[in-house]
Amino acid sequence: MLEVAGIAKRFGGLAALADASLTARAGAITALIGPNGAGKSTLFAIIAGFIAPDRGSIRFAGREILGLPAHALARLGVVRTFQTAQPFAGLTVRENIAIGCQLRARSRAEALREAAGIARQVGMAALLDQQAGALTIAARKRLELARALATGPRLLLLDEVMAGLNPAETAELIAVIRAIRDGGVTLLLTEHVMQAVTGLAEQIYVLNGGRIIAAGAPAAVLADAGVIEAYLGHGAAARLSGRETHA
Partner 1 sequence: MALPLLALAALAALPLLLRSDFWLHFAIMTLYVALLGQSWNLLGGYGGQRSFGHAAFFGTGAYAAAVLQLDLGVNPWACLALAGLAGAAAGALVGALSFRYGLRGSYFALVTLAFAEVFRILADSVPFTGAGVGLQIPLRQSAANFQFPDKAGFYAVILALTALATALAWWVEHSRFGAALVALRENEEAARALGIDVNRTKLRAIALSGGLAGLAGSFYVQYYLYIDPRLAYGVEVSVAALLVPLIGGAGTVFGPLVGALVLRALNEASSRLTGDAPGLNLVLYGALLIAILAFLPDGLVSLGARLRQALRRRAPGHA
Greatest alpha-carbon span in the chain: 68
- Half-sphere exposure at residue 176, Cβ-oriented, CA atoms within 13 angstroms: 22
Q: Nearest Cα to 29, choosing from 213, 141, 174, 224?
A: 174
For residue 68, which amino acid is it?
Answer: L
Task: Let me know how many helices (H) and strands (E) the chain has, helices first.
Answer: 10, 10
Using the rule CB under 8 A, is 94 a contact of partner 1? no
Using the rule CB under 8 A, is 120 a contact of partner 1? no
Give the integer Cα–Cα distance in Å for 76 and 155.
Answer: 9
Nearest approach, Cβ of 67 to partner 1 (angstroms)? 15
Nearer to partner 1, 82 or 205 (CB): 82
Nearest approach, Cβ of 180 to partner 1 (angstroms)? 16
Q: Among 17-25, 74-82, 187-195, 230-238, which window interacts with partner 1 (CB under 8 A)?
A: 74-82
Report CA-CA distances (Å) from 56 to 1, 6, 14, 31, 82.
Answer: 17, 5, 17, 20, 23
Q: Which of residues 8-67 bind partner 1 (CB under 8 A)?
A: 48, 50
**How many other β-carbons are positioned within 10 Å of the β-carbon of residue 216?**
14
Q: Which of 10, 75, 120, 239 binds partner 1 (CB under 8 A)?
A: 75
Nearer to partner 1, 32 or 206 (CB): 32
For residue 107, give every residue at least 6 positions away whose Cβ sits within 8 Å of its Cβ, in sequence order, or none: none
Q: Which of residues 126-145 bind partner 1 (CB under 8 A)?
A: none
Using the rule CB under 8 A, is 151 a contact of partner 1? yes
Nearer to partner 1, 133 or 226 (CB): 133
Q: Which of 69, 117, 167, 183 binds partner 1 (CB under 8 A)?
A: 69
Q: Which residues bind partner 1 (CB under 8 A)?
A: 48, 50, 69-72, 74-75, 79-82, 86-91, 95, 98-100, 102-103, 107-108, 111, 147-148, 150-151
